[in-house]
Amino acid sequence: MEAVVREWDASIDHAFAQGEEWALAEAYRLLAPLIHTLALRALCEHGAADDVTQEVFIRAWKSRTSYRPETARLPAWLVGITRNKIYDALSARAHRRDLEQAALHLVPVPADAAGKPTAEALADRLTLEDELDRLGDPQARIMRLAFYEDLTHDQISSRLNLPLGTVKSHIRRSLARLRSRLEAEHGAL
């Protein structure tokens, strides 16, 4: 980075802040390798590093009006954005891993001969989990109790301290929403 900063032309900073597209192209040409390297070191995956690099420049360009060249050089500002994007990518990766682990442990998933969950079964479970998350509470909580713990309407009502009619209404509406979303996204069931 030192070599890039030493050779950095401060006019690029001001042109970038003013929305000059040539400054974005020049910043990308000079700094994309550095940003990609930082992302690759942190994420250990070329595809993820490519995504972070692209996201950094998109974010920087969209936020260029908040960039102050008199406060920081563009390379330093972009490295700060890079750190945030790397953190976001690591957080998303951890969240996906947690979801996969939770999905595997909620209800047994069909397994192959080696005892590992089948890819199709895991994909179905993750799709269902995503759709349940989209329902929000208390609907998602009610549906998880019905799907994963196999509780009756009465048991759900007691556990959540909700009226029985409310539980039944939430289940009926939630099933309809799930069905229509899954049909729309994945073809007819």
Rounded to an integer, the average pLDDT of 67-79 is 93
Q: Could you tell me which of 107, 106, 100 has the C-alpha nearest to residue 126? A: 100
In this predicted structure, which of 129-133, 135-139, 151-155 has the lowest mean pLDDT?
Answer: 129-133
Q: Angle, nearest 10°, between helix axes 119-135 and 74-106?
A: 110
pLDDT in tens, 38-54: 999 999 999 999 999 99
Residue 129 has pLDDT above 90, yes or no: no
Type of residue found at 112 = D
Give 33-42 contacts, CB < 8 A, sequence gap 24+: 34/1, 34/4, 34/75, 34/79, 35/78, 35/79, 35/82, 38/79, 38/82, 38/83, 38/86, 39/82, 39/85, 39/86, 39/89, 42/86, 42/89, 42/90
> Regarding predicted confidence, which is higher, 163 or 144?
163
In this predicted structure, which of 108-112, 173-177, 180-184 has the lowest mean pLDDT?
Answer: 108-112
Entry pTM: 0.53
| Mean confidence (pLDDT) of the chain | 82
| Cα dist from 2 to 14, 31, 104, whole Å | 20, 11, 47
**Could you give all domains of the chain from N- to C-terminal order, each with its CATH number?**
2-98 (1.10.1740.10), 108-186 (1.10.10.10)
